[in-house]
Amino acid sequence: MSTISKVNLCDLPYPALERFVMEELGFKKFRAVQIWQWIWVKNVAGFEAMTDISQSDRARLAEIAEIRWPAIADVRVSADGTTKFLLELSDGELVETVLIPSDAPKRPNDVTVRMTQCVSTQVGCAMACSFCSTGKLGFRRNMTMGEILGQVQVARAYVGDTQPERPIIRNLVYMGMGEPLLNLATVMDSLRTLEHPKGLAFSPRRITVSTCGIEAGMREFGDSGLAFLAVSLHAPNQELREKLMPRAAHWPLEELIGALERYPLKTRERITLEYLVIAGVNDQPEHVKQLARICARLKAKLNLIPYNPTPGTPYRAPSPEELLRFEKALWAKDITAIVRKSKGQDIEAACGQLRAAHDAAARGDATGA
């Protein structure tokens, strides 16, 4: 039997793992808990490490199952500590994940580096946003749960994140390659796995899922309470949204804002509106007024992201002065707007850039565009 035909246990949510252990392997129910904790808490990559499981049971596991992680194809480390991985999946497809260090310790004398990980949910993306390298790749396929969470497993192993009670990777953002709500069932399985009390026990308050605005599934995701919601807005009017985000704009902006008005929020919870600031395109005085009208309708905060230049696009990043001017204009309208510090620009950390550069190198295209 080839390795690829074996069941990847990382693809199984806990109820499915329990059924597999009892029905396919004939093991007692408690074995499921043991295997689950070895995979998700202790982060082992093989059955030989599962020392509280008998050798005969480990041999049986190895016959029909495996723990399959993505392989590291490339790693880039920025001067600011941002680390970007290009990961190869079992079918040869490539995806990206990024580790972003916190700016400062959370407590005095705390020397432990805290990190946020940005994970991908699809190979490529169907949304074709004009500013995004991933959008240029087109859509290849959805990722499995094991591939989505395999990014976390690889990153935890890389940084030595071995104590879930004192994690190095503190927060997760589903903001990498792909549109999470177009892979909704699998994304929700991955969130339940992260939050399982016998596993990593991630709090929903430490996980954010970003969408460009997908009508089908948004309410279901909101009702689940599995994570915070971030919405990639990037344009404060329908005309500009159609230019920047042509596929997302099929759901009219007015209808999206109406859905966000009805979106279920917990106490003290707010929706994050992600806004990529592109110099001269969406940062003008009229855009400030339009954003003010949107924010007045929502319980939301505006996360300003300076554009990270992407080869082959006509856009440019705002200068520090332009960004500050735009931010102050928003403050003057009583909008809660925060600039998210851009990191990893020296390692092509924007979504899809490393994959695009890898593909260009494979074609012998020196420009990388």
| 10, 18, 66, 96: the active-site residue | 96
Give the lowest-confidence range in 4-18, 97-111, 203-217: 97-111
Q: Which residues pair with 95 in a beta bridge?
A: 87
Res. 128 pLDDT band, cuts 50 70 90: very high
- Report the chain's C-alpha Rg in angstroms: 21
pLDDT in tens, 265-295: 988 899 999 999 999 999 999 999 999 999 9
pLDDT at 350 over 80: no
Cβ atoms < 10 Å from Cβ of 263: 19
Answer whether residue 341 shows pLDDT above 80: no
Q: Do residues 226 and 192 make contact, with C-beta atoms less than 8 angstroms apart?
A: yes
The pLDDT, as a whole number, for residue 348 is: 58
User: Which residues are CB-contacts of 95 (< 8 A; sequence separation ≥ 6)?
Assistant: 70, 86, 87, 89, 120, 123, 143, 147, 151, 176, 177, 355
**Is 209's pLDDT higher than 50?**
yes
Q: pLDDT band for position 358 (50/70/90)?
A: low
Mean pLDDT, residues 29-33 taken together: 97
Q: Which of 10, 125, 132, 351 is catalytic?
A: 351
pLDDT given at position 369:
33
User: What is the rounded average pLDDT of the residues 171-187?
Assistant: 97
The label of the residue with tokens 């007045």 reads 296
Q: What percent of the chain has pLDDT over 90?
A: 80
Q: Which of 49-58, 109-118, 232-241 has the lowest mean pLDDT?
A: 109-118
Instruction: Calculate ∠ Cα 303-307-309, nearest 5°.
Output: 160
Task: Indicate the pTM of the whole model.
Answer: 0.91
At a CB cut-off of 8 Å and minimum separation 6, what does 151 contact?
A: 70, 85, 87, 95, 97, 117, 119, 120, 176
Position 165 pLDDT exceeds 90: no
Q: What is the mean pLDDT of the chain?
A: 91
Predicted local distance difference test score (pLDDT) of residue 69: 98
Copy the structure tokens of residue 92.
């040869």
Average pLDDT over residues 53-57: 96
Residues sharing a CB contact under 8 Å with residue 32, sequence separation 6 or more, in sequence order: 14, 17, 18, 21, 22
Dist CA 42 CA 46 (whole Å): 11
Q: Which of 121, 199, 210, 206 is nearest to 169 (CA)?
A: 206
Residue 104 pLDDT? 55
Give CA–CA dist 71/82, Å, rounded.
19
| Contact yes or no for 330/291 (Cβ under 8 A) | yes
Tell the CATH topology of 71-363.
TIM Barrel (3.20.20)
The single-letter DSSP state of residue 292 is H
**Residue bearing tokens 């500013």:** 131
Cα distances (Å, whole numbers) of residue 220 to 125, 184, 188, 224, 334 = 21, 9, 10, 6, 31
Q: Could you give the dihedral angle defined by the CA atoms of residues 164, 165, 166 and 170, in that order, rounded to the nearest 10 degrees?
A: 60
pLDDT at 58 over 70: yes
96 included as an active-site residue: yes
Q: How confident is the model at residue 359 (pLDDT cuts 50, 70, 90)?
A: low
Q: How does residue 5 score in pLDDT terms, banded at 50, 70 and 90?
A: confident
10 has catalytic annotation: no
189-209 average pLDDT score: 97
CATH 3.20.20.70 residue window(s) in the chain? 71-363
Instruction: Provide mean pLDDT across the span 262-267.
Output: 91
- Residues 177, 352 contacting (CB under 8 angstroms): yes
Q: Is 45 exposed, middle or buried (0-12, 13-18, 19+ CB in 10 A)?
A: middle
**Contact status, residue 211 vs residue 126, Cβ threshold 8 Å:** no
Q: Strands, DSSP E only, in the chain?
A: 7-8, 65-66, 71-77, 83-88, 94-101, 115-118, 122-124, 139-142, 169-174, 207-211, 228-232, 271-277, 300-306, 337-339
* pLDDT score of 366: 46
Kindly indicate the confidence band of residue 110, based on its pLDDT and cuts at 50, 70 and 90.
low
Rounded distance between C-alpha atoms, residue 245 and residue 257, angstroms: 16
- Other CB atoms closer than 10 Å to residue 234's CB: what's the count? 24
The pLDDT of residue 125 is above 90: yes
In angstroms, the CA 178 to CA 201 distance is: 25
Instruction: Tokens 């102050």: give the residue.
Output: 328
CA–CA separation, 295 vs 290, rounded Å? Answer: 9
Q: Does domain 3-66 have CATH number 1.10.150.530?
A: yes
Predicted local distance difference test score (pLDDT) of residue 346: 63
Least confident of 22-36, 64-78, 109-123, 238-252: 109-123
